[in-house]
Amino acid sequence: MEANGIHTPLQITKDNVIICGHNRWKVSMELKLDAIPCIYVEGSTDDHVCIMISENLIRRTVTIYFAKLNKL
């Protein structure tokens, strides 16, 4: 991230609450980046929770997939 920046924007609410991208935000703060790309996501709290859960499941699935590939 230090060399190439953030490729996937954070997803945030209109109140600037992070829905997806907590780790990207944390690393950005540690690197003292000047700007962080964000996308505002409209919807209810339930909608935001569904997005968070689905993003976490996707990330977990990809992590498991790559771990299995590395064992080949």
The predicted structure's pLDDT at residue 63? 86
Higher per-residue pLDDT: 27 or 3:
27
Strands 18-20 and 38-40: unpaired
Locate the domains of the chain by residue range: 10-70
Report field, pTM of the whole predicted structure over 0.95: no
Give the model confidence (pLDDT) of 19-72 as tens digits: 999 999 999 999 999 899 999 999 999 999 999 999 989 888 888 888 888 887
pLDDT exceeds cutoff 90 at 3:
no
Sheet containing 38-40: order of strands:
18-20, 10-12, 38-40
